[in-house]
């Protein structure tokens, strides 16, 4: 495969029953907006019993039906949060870890050095995180995955990727390669994804590409680089 190939949402996701939770970051082709997206999928009743809610620009996962909650520890968290000019997106409560470290003068990688993959043997779900840092009329972004180094979960391998924003290019990282038992963790570098100037079209393309049975919620934010104002879209299967 061409190392520099940029693939569409459909090419990367369509037909894959379970990519798990996923984060996308990139820059629109016209260079005017930073793109950030986060979605969740689920196989169990506990995982599927969720919705995204937005409060003051922050995104939370919350139970759809409180009476059906079995274990909230790994499914309820703040997924999107801003600190100063940094937009944090993660698949767990490491969102708050990154925020707290930035507040103390630390950085993205050092914050995540204090965390591990999720304690859900035998899957050992990776923790995936991303952060867009807005400076002037541009931005850069970082992505991270924390995953088990072996099938026993004996230790944690930590990978951090840093990118300059390039028009039309985005990167996509997700927790799993596909469905399985145990579920195979994501491997390799974040995948190169084609961005779109049209937020509505991109949101629809991403939502439609996710497996119908397993998709739960999707959040997309387009941030205008000229003034940092943003537009957001939210889709919940349960609502």
pLDDT, tens digit (0-9, with 9 covering 90-100), for 175-214: 999 999 999 999 999 999 999 999 999 999 999 999 999 9
pLDDT, tens digit (0-9, with 9 covering 90-100), for 129-150: 999 999 988 999 999 999 999 9
- Give the mean model confidence (pLDDT) for residues 67-88: 88
Asked whether residue 1 is assigned to any structural domain, the reply reads no
Asked whether residue 156 is assigned to any structural domain, the reply reads yes
pLDDT for 170: 98
pLDDT for 68: 77
Supply the range of the domain harboring residue 20.
Answer: 9-236
How much is the pTM? Answer: 0.96
pLDDT for 154: 98
Asked whether residue 4 is assigned to any structural domain, the reply reads no
Number of structural domains in the chain: 1
Q: What CATH number should be reported for the domain holding residue 89?
A: 3.60.20.20
String of DSSP letters for 130-157? EEEEEETTEEEEEEEEEEESSTT--SEE
CA 139 to CA 98: how far, in whole Å? 18
Asked whether residue 146 is assigned to any structural domain, the reply reads yes
In sequence order, which residues have a C-beta less than 8 Å from that of residue 233 and are 6 or more positions away? 199, 200, 203, 218, 219, 220
| Nearest C-alpha neighbor of 123 from the set 166, 67, 181, 205 | 181
**Per-residue pLDDT band at 116 (split at 50, 70, 90):** very high
């Amino acid at each position: 495969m061409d190392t520099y190939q940029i693939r569409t949402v459909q090419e990367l996701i369509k037909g894959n029953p379970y990519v798990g939770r996923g984060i996308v970051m990139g820059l629109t082709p016209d260079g005017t907006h930073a793109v950030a997206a986060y979605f969740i999928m689920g196989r169990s009743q506990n995982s599927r019993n969720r919705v995204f809610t937005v409060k003051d620009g922050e995104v939370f996962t919350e139970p759809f039906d409180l009476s059906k909650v079995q274990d909230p520890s790994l499914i309820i968290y703040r997924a999107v949060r801003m600190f100063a000019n940094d937009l944090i997106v993660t698949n767990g409560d490491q969102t708050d870890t990154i925020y707290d470290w930035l507040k103390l003068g630390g950085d993205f990688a050092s914050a995540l050095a204090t965390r591990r993959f999720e304690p859900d043997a035998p899957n050992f779900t990776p923790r995936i995180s991303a952060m867009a840092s807005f400076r002037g009329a541009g931005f850069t972004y970082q992505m991270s995955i924390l995953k088990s180094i072996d099938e026993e979960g004996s230790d944690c391998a930590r990978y951090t990727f840093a990118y300059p924003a390039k028009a039309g290019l985005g990167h996509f990282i997700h927790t799993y390669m596909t469905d399985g038992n145990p579920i195979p963790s994501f491997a390799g570098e974040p995948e190169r994804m084609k961005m779109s100037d049209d937020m509505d079209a991109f949101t629809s393309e991403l939502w439609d590409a996710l497996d119908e049975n397993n998709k739960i919620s999707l959040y997309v934010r387009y941030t205008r680089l000229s003034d940092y104002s943003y537009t957001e879209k939210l889709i919940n299967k349960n609502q």
